[in-house]
Structure 1
Amino acid sequence: METKTLSLPRLNQLNPTLESTALKLMEEAGELAQVIGKYRGMSGEKVEVNGDLVVKQIARELLDVAQTAVTMMFVMEEQFDLNIEDLLKDHWGKLERKGYLSR
């Protein structure tokens, strides 16, 4: 099985706090849910959208969620002196122990 990784940048034009980033994460997750709900016709309205465009929009919203989550990790690293590399190693180990990942 091929392993892929995703790398997102540390944003340098912002001064986010833990609280503002948590709120932004919820906002972005809500936007993701909204796009998925519209695509699935969960609002009760008839859906007449191009499936490929909607899938791309879902992916874009998901990247916004991921970027905000990564930003929150960087905020925590700075405010609480966390070592992200150590946490990532622990996370990968957990994934391996649970059988989600094999190297």
Structure 2
Amino acid sequence: MEEAGELAQAIGKFQGRSGEKIQMDKQVVIDKMAEELLDVAQVAVSMMFVLEEDYRIDLTKKLKQHIQKLKAKGYIK
């Protein structure tokens, strides 16, 4: 997924992962991260609807299972 790579790149710039100094203003980098994260979320949601429509995946059931997993891990109550 191209958007995930772009998000990773934005995060890497923020953290200076490639050894480069951050040339961009911190807020600009954070804004870029938010934009890329929204792109990733949009693609993920679109993919879920494709699974539902083309492969008859029950998204309601999957969501309930996911919530149970989050509860079991203590992420939510």
Uncovered stretches (5+) of structure 1, i.e. residues with no partner:
1-25
* Identity percentage of aligned residues: 55
Measured in 2, the distance between the counterparts of 1:93 and 1:37 equals: 32
Higher relative contact order (CA 8 A, sep 6+): 1
Count of matched residue positions in the alignment of Structure 1 and Structure 2:
77
Question: Aligned-pair RMSD on alpha carbons?
Answer: 1.2
Q: What stretches of structure 1 move > 6 A for 4+ residues in a row?
A: none
Uncovered stretches (5+) of structure 2, i.e. residues with no partner:
none
**Normalising by the residue count of structure 2, what TM-score does the alignment of the two structures yield?**
0.89
Secondary structure at the aligned position of 1:43 is classed as: coil
> Paired residue for 1:61?
36
> Paired residue for 1:43?
18
> Paired residue for 1:72?
47
**Normalising by the residue count of structure 1, what TM-score does the alignment of the two structures yield?**
0.68
> Paired residue for 1:85?
60
